[in-house]
Amino acid sequence: MLDQIKGLHHVTSMARDARRNNEFFTGKLGLRRVKKTVNFDAPDVYHLYYADEVGTPGSVMTYFPFPNIGKGRHGVGEVGTTVFAVPQGTLGYWEKRFADEGVKDVKRETRFGEERLAFSGPDGDSFALVETKDDPRKPWTEAGIPADDAIRGFHSASLRLRDGGATEELLKFMGYEDVDASGNVKRLAIKNGNGADVIDIETLPGAPFADLGAGSVHHIAFAVENRAKQIEVRKALMDTGYQVTPVIDRDYFWSIYFRTPGGVLFEVATNEPGFDRDEDTAHLGEALKLPKQHAHLRDYLEKHLQPLEG
């Protein structure tokens, strides 16, 4: 069993409209945009990162807003619900805020004894807030949400699968342990993680497979401290039979990717070097930052990418 993985690093999803996406996460949810860059493989598409003040691994929600992309269809073989942690006793604040802001599909739920508030993103993305006790992570507080109510980072993510058995075995190999089960949902968690420690496996044997589009999660990333730990994880996964990509430099972290038995794309990402490698912390997410291979496109991109504000 591996011990290098320390919880979630980030979740990356698809959107249709960059400005609407930016407004939802920075305005309605009160997260900080910590990076404005472009998709490595499609530089005419933004890659937007939302998180806490500095982009701490375990707090980072990222998006590829493809203009006019079709709507995704939810099903099996995908990340289902992405869940953020908020302090105990704050769901009332968020219910009122969501009502005032016109957030859709808001519903109170209880899962594994935890109070949570389900809601949808602008493209039908599946989200929830869950109340947690004594979460030491510091929130971003410059978006008008009181520190006592603000999002701390991720709590968990769920995987929707036709058969969860092989993916459960994989997660246990990655260091996750059984926590609880209820109905068709099995909960696993990692010990001594970064706070974003929980994965729920939701088994739906007869459900259709998901179709990727706006509102879909593209991949889910797990955190390791550094490149040395990442190489150890890569070797262990390959020795177990997984086809894992070479290490890829993503400017703010190094990444490896592999497809799980249930069809979900997993990434293992390093905590280093971080989002302040090319911007001062006070100004994260303000300027358009380009990977070096796309630097020659700056004039074109600055004219053609959709303005995020205004």
Q: Looking at residues 170-195, what average pLDDT do you find?
A: 97
**At 236, which amino acid appears?**
A
Q: Looking at residues 71-95, what average pLDDT do you find?
A: 98
pTM over 0.75? The answer is: yes
- Residue at 47 is within a domain: yes
Query: Residue 297 corresponds to which tokens in the numbers above?
Result: 């496109």
- Residue at 212 is within a domain: yes
Q: How far is CA 12 from CA 49, 115, 140, in A?
A: 9, 25, 20
Nearest CA-CA partner of 270 in 48, 5, 12:
5
- Residue at 81 is within a domain: yes
Calculate the CA 169 to chain-centre distance. 22
- Residue at 188 is within a domain: yes
Tokens 């520190």 locate to 147
In this model, does residue 310 exceed pLDDT 90?
A: no
pLDDT at 155: 98
CB 156 within 8 A of CB 196: yes
In this model, does residue 290 exceed pLDDT 80?
A: yes
Distance between CA atoms of residues 19 and 299, nearest Å: 20
- Residue at 175 is within a domain: yes
pLDDT at 228: 98
Radius of gyration of the chain (CA): 18
pLDDT at 255: 98
Q: Looking at residues 19-34, what average pLDDT do you find?
A: 98
Tokens 């300027």 locate to 287
Query: Residue 83 corresponds to which tokens in the numbers above?
Result: 């869940």
Query: Residue 106 corresponds to which tokens in the numbers above?
Result: 């808001």
- Residue at 217 is within a domain: yes
In this model, does residue 64 exceed pLDDT 70?
A: yes
Q: Looking at residues 113-141, what average pLDDT do you find?
A: 97
- Residue at 310 is within a domain: no
Tally of structural domains, the chain: 1
Spatial strand order in the sheet of 104-111: 104-111, 114-120, 126-132, 78-87, 153-161, 198-203, 185-190, 176-182
Q: Is 2 helix (H, G, I), strand (E, B) or coil?
A: coil
In this model, does residue 191 exceed pLDDT 90?
A: yes
Its domain, for residue 44, covers 5-304
In this model, does residue 169 exceed pLDDT 70?
A: yes
pLDDT at 294: 98
- Residue 18: CA atoms inside 13 Å, Cβ hemisphere, count? 22
- Residue at 309 is within a domain: no
Q: Is 166 helix (H, G, I), strand (E, B) or coil?
A: helix
pLDDT in tens, 227-246: 999 999 999 999 999 999 99
Assign 106 a pLDDT band (cuts: 50, 70, 90): very high
Nearest CA-CA partner of 171 in 184, 182, 183, 157:
157
Q: What is the largest CA-CA distance in the chain?
A: 54
CATH at residue 246:
3.10.180.10
Distance between CA atoms of residues 68 and 87, nearest Å: 37
